[in-house]
Amino acid sequence: MSSALAHVAWEPCFVEARQDRELETHARRRMGLPNPAVRYFAPAPWVARAAVDINPSFGLLIHLDLHTADLVGLVVSQENACRFCFAAVRAVLWFQGMDRERVLRVEQEIARPDLPAMVRATLDYARAQSRSGPTGAHGAWAALRGAGVSAGEAREIAYTVAVSDFSNRLHTALAIPPLPFERTPESLLMRLLRPLLGRVTGARRSRGSPVAAAMDLPERPYGRLIGAFGDSPIAPVLAHALDEMWASSHLSPRCKLLMFAVVSRGLPCEVCELEISRALQREGLDAAAVARLLTHLDGPELEPVERLLMSYARETLWYQPAVLQRHTRMLRDQLSPEQLIEAVGVAALANGICRMAAVVMDEPA
Amino acid sequence: MRTAIAVALVLALLAAVWAWLRERHGALRLQRQLDAASEELQRLQQACARLAPAGVVDRLVADHVDELTAMPAQRKVVTALFADLVGYTAMSERLDAAVLARVLNGYFQRMSDAIHEHRGHVSTFLGDGILAYFGALQPNPWQSADAVRAALAMRAAMADYNRELAREGLPTLNVGIGIHNGSGLVGLIGSRERMEYGFVGRTVNLAARVQALTRTHGVDILVTDAVRSELDATFRLDAMPAERVKGIAEPVVSYAVRERITTPDASPTQVSH
């Protein structure tokens, strides 16, 4: 089954896989199958956990059906030319019993202009959020709501796009090998095991149910975003992923905030930039310094690693896979393995979250 | 009777196998056709990417809709970089056509690489000139600095290329670059038969005029005040005398870009008068 992305240039993976039984067991329990990518993220465990835990297909969606969520993942991965994620979604569809021709038809159908209005609006919004950022996506958001998609469902669509944007950057930047997934339908072993694997993954994929909404929103960036998800199970999962990211010590909180700020400025997402600027001021940078650093991506206040990663963060905004992989490979020579994985994870998370934050926070609960 | 049933079962089984094989053969044939069509589309897309910015081609292919509705023109702030060869006409009269084409292609390739490396896209080649934009395809709040960095990379690439040309006994080249930013109309513009992803407005005109001023001032890279105001202290600039240019009412103030240093020691752009 040839892939629509088979032509996309993809470097050999330049990070080492590191065995971590705890992380691998966590991924297997949550997803039903071993996740081959987790070992590459092991140096920064929060990245590995986030890659598994925030996946919307495993008990996080209340309103959006899982098939539409898969289509959104397919569209966004195609948009971002992420061979790994595109192949992974195709493999999931195939495990679920779709034959290869049907998977190809699904791929062709997502580009058809005569789709039902709601599906069309969903996929248009997915592309807009991913390719144009929040400012460019406002029109598509209005069309999505105008097509009859409820507020809860629209937020879950935005979240699904955000997770795909995160996942696409994470796997693309580190050039995680896509071949195991791309060759899945051709492998005799996989074909024999397919009914079993389909049952195992199918059992783990489930709709979510409401949870108790957090009463006190935390005084940290994106507290409002988490609050916007109300009683959705997305709220605690997202809060936990963000908490783990801020708490990890391979990069300083100020460095991570600066990376988020660059992504917010570059998209642009004014509402995100405001929240991040306030957090940076709490870290000791005054408003004028923050404004200057974001205008020039440089300044005497910056530590060398901050200067390096502010520059890297902007490379993750709009990218060609090969160019992003080249920049990440150059970063590898200047950072420890732990810092590298954390830096890629922060940049990927910033891109996912900032892209959805503006529309989700603007929408009345 | 049993034999007849057995024969019937065997025949039914054979018919089922034959039907399955036939369907599978048909499916495989369709699959091969689909793969071939997909590869052909890919080749076409790659060919089109030479004629228009790759992002535009990708978007038109992904959207599968009419190009007029897919990418409506919109007003944006964009940085225009205009580059032109100095002394091209005299050189073109001395060189054999094949050699001239090789020299020009080498120049265009190196300049285009420097522009792409700094997130710009080449809009068009105008004779021996190059018109490139920064911030037209995607939002880019750092477009002015990107354009000036691209110009510095073009200067370095030109120096390397001149060393190659000199080794071959060919005349060396000099390039003049003008950079200006401002608002204009960006998008697919043109007739139904022939469209171009372009930027329309006074900004392009002023970038071309400033490029022409490089000869007046005897420098290779000039930026306008609008660009200078967005650069940080790492760029070393020299203010040039204001000059009147065609089509612009007020004399144009421009700055020659000398170099970029990597350790900033002051906030505003360093300008010598």
pLDDT at B148: 98
How confident is the model over A286-295, as a mean pLDDT?
94
How confident is the model over A46-53, as a mean pLDDT?
96
Question: In the predicted model, is pLDDT for residue A170 greater than 90?
Answer: yes
Chain B residues touching chain A at CB-CB below 8 Å: 27, 30-31, 34-35, 38, 42, 54-55, 59, 62-65, 137-142, 145, 230-232, 234, 264-265, 267
Among B23, B24, B31, B231, pick the best mutation site for testing chain A contact (most A Cβ within 10 A): B31
Give the distance from residue A284's alpha carbon to the nearest chain B alpha carbon, in angstroms. Answer: 19
How confident is the model over A2-8, as a mean pLDDT?
69
Inter-chain CB proximity B139 and A266 less than 8 Å:
yes
Q: Which of A4, A111, A266 sits opposite B141 (nearest CB)?
A: A266
Mean pLDDT value across chain A: 88
Whole-number Å distance between alpha carbons of A169 and A350: 10
With a pLDDT cut of 90, the percent of chain A lying above it is 55
| Both structure tokens of B154 | 């073009």
Of the ranges A61-65, A176-180, B191-195, the best mean pLDDT one: A61-65
Give the distance from residue A45's alpha carbon to the nearest chain B alpha carbon, in angstroms. Answer: 33
pLDDT at A126: 94
A267 touches chain B (CB under 8 A): yes
Q: Strand B129-134 relative to strand B174-190: parallel, antiparallel, unpaired?
A: unpaired
pLDDT at B263: 59
CA distances from B272 to B20, B223, B234, B235, B253 (A): 82, 14, 13, 11, 14
pLDDT greater at residue B44 or residue A224: A224
- What sign for the dihedral angle of Cα B236, B240, B242, B244? negative
Q: Which of A104, A136, A297 sits opposite B34 (nearest CB)?
A: A104
* One-letter amino acid for residue A309 of the chain: L
pLDDT at B108: 96
A111 touches chain B (CB under 8 A): yes
Q: How far is CA B226 from the centre of its chain?
A: 22
Of A364, A343, A361, A362, the closest CA to residue A44 belongs to A343
pLDDT greater at residue B179 or residue A299: B179
Which chain A residues have a beta carbon less than 8 Å from that of B134? none
Q: Which residues of chain B have pLDDT under 50?
A: 65, 264-268
pLDDT (tens digit per residue) in A92-137 = 888 877 777 777 777 776 766 677 888 889 999 999 999 888 877 8
pLDDT at A106: 72
**What ipTM does this complex have?**
0.84
Q: Which of A1, A265, A318 sits opposite B138 (nearest CB)?
A: A318
Per the CB < 8 A criterion, the answer to whether A331 and A340 are in contact is yes
Give the distance from residue A44's alpha carbon to the nearest chain B alpha carbon, in angstroms. Answer: 30
Beta bridge partner(s), residue B223: B179, B255
Q: Which of A1, A131, A298 sits opposite B232 (nearest CB)?
A: A298
Whole-number Å distance between alpha carbons of A204 and A188: 24
Global pTM reads: 0.85
Whole-number Å distance between alpha carbons of B190 and B196: 6
pLDDT (tens digit per residue) in A308-354 = 999 999 999 998 899 999 999 999 999 999 999 999 999 999 999 99
Which chain A residues have a beta carbon less than 8 Å from that of B63? 111, 127
Per the CB < 8 A criterion, the answer to whether B99 and B152 are in contact is no
Question: In the predicted model, is pLDDT for residue A20 greater than 90?
Answer: yes
Among A102, A273, A296, A303, pick the best mutation site for testing chain B contact (most B Cβ within 10 A): A296
Whole-number Å distance between alpha carbons of B29 and A343: 47
Query: CA Rg, chain A, in Å?
Result: 20
Question: In the predicted model, is pLDDT for residue A304 greater than 70?
Answer: yes
pLDDT (tens digit per residue) in B212-264 = 999 999 999 999 999 999 999 889 999 999 999 888 888 999 999 999 987 54
Q: Which of B27, B139, B145 sits opposite A101 (nearest CB)?
A: B27
Looking only at Cα atoms, what is the longest distance across chain A? 62
Whole-number Å distance between alpha carbons of A11 and B25: 36
Whole-number Å distance between alpha carbons of A347 and A328: 11
Question: In the predicted model, is pLDDT for residue A276 greater than 70?
Answer: yes
Judged on CB neighbours under 10 Å (0-12, 13-18, 19+), A253 is middle
How confident is the model over A246-267, as a mean pLDDT?
96
Give the distance from residue A339's alpha carbon to the nearest chain B alpha carbon, in angstroms. Answer: 23
Which chain A residues have a beta carbon less than 8 Å from that of B34? 104
